Amino acid sequence: FEALTLIQTRKIRNFPVVLFGSQYWRGLLAWLTSTMLHERMVNPEDLGLIYLTDSPKDAVDFIVKTYNEEIENGTGRSGAES
């Protein structure tokens, strides 16, 4: 949650938040949707920051895609930045 909060409040740059193992994370995501979203404690866009997968390849593909989109949009960091 800490990383998501920092991304939401723009204290850190947006980066892919990948949850690996849908069976493990399913309950938490259901709670976020049924409780937090329903009670307006989070926005639908907030949940869109999370990418859930069971495939290592999908996780890597998502991270690379996100990085490439940020570079194309001029919002990403170059390899020279630390």
Helices (H), the chain: 2-8, 22-31, 44-47, 56-73
Query: Domain limits of the chain?
Result: 18-67
> pLDDT per residue over 37-55, tens digit each?
899 888 888 788 889 999 9
Instruction: Write down the mean pLDDT value for the chain.
Output: 85
- Residue 35, pLDDT > 50, answer yes
Average pLDDT over residues 3-18: 84
Under the banding of pLDDT at 50, 70 and 90, the label for residue 82 is very low
Helix, strand, or coil (residue 52): strand
